[in-house]
Every structure is written in structure tokens, then in C-alpha cells.
Amino acid sequence: MPKFLFIAAAAYLALIGLALLVVPAQFGVGAVPEDASPELIALLRLLSGPFLGVAVLNWISRKAEPGTARTAVLLADLVGFGVVAVNDIWGVISGDARDLARLFLIVHLAFAVAFAVAWWRSRRAPVPAP
């Protein structure tokens, strides 16, 4: 399960990271004003770095054997997607989020649940001897 999950998360995060880098105003439609300041666009592009970095981490982790390093990546993804899902839930319930947030909520919640299950299973699985 972790291999497919790492691949899916890597692809998703890479797409988000590339969108923030290449077309930040278009990616932020409904949230970024049409006359966005250069500073706001620069900030959105800055955020592409962590997305792309975690995408690479997930891609490399797809082949990792069970152990401390893979469990750490699972937990980091769980925290990341979990926080984003909570933010999406808050935005949708409060009405402060853009309409697209409902779709992102489903995606982020699904990733958070999947990483929670994978992390939980990784804690219970025996770690092979070196």
C-alpha cells in the first residue's frame, strides 16, 4: 500500500508545486485577485519549493523498505495532509473558502486517511533485520 500511496502523493504534490511555480495566479483562481501584487505572486512561487521537495521525498520513498525512515515519511505526509484537510474543512464550513475547496477537501482528506492507515500499519509491522 505505501508504494502506491507514495507515487500518488508524489504526483499530486508535484502538480501543485509546478502550478504554484509556473501559473500561480491561475492556480489560485477565486483566491488570488486578478491584479495580484508581484509580492503575492512571488510568495505563491516560494510555496512551490516545499511541495516539490515533498514530492521528491515521496517518490524516492516508494521503494523504501519498512523501517524508521519510511515510517517518518508516512507520518510527515499524515501531518501535512491532515493539517491541510482540517483547514479545508474549516474553510468549507465557515464559507470562507473558494468553491474549489470542496474538491480539495475530498482529495486531502482521502490522502490523510490513507497515510494514517499506512502509518498505523507500519507501526505494527515487524521491521526486517539489517
73 near 114, Cβ under 8 Å? no
pLDDT-derived band at 128 (thresholds 50, 70, 90) equals low
Domain boundaries, the chain: 2-124
pTM of the model: 0.88
Task: List pLDDT tens digits, range 85-110.
Answer: 999 999 999 988 888 889 999 999 99
Give the cell for residue 63.
521503494
Whole-angstrom CA distances from 124 to 49, 71, 116, 127 are 33, 11, 13, 9
Per-residue burial over 21-38, b = 16 or more CB atoms within 10 Å of its CB, e = otherwise: beebeebbeeebeeeeee
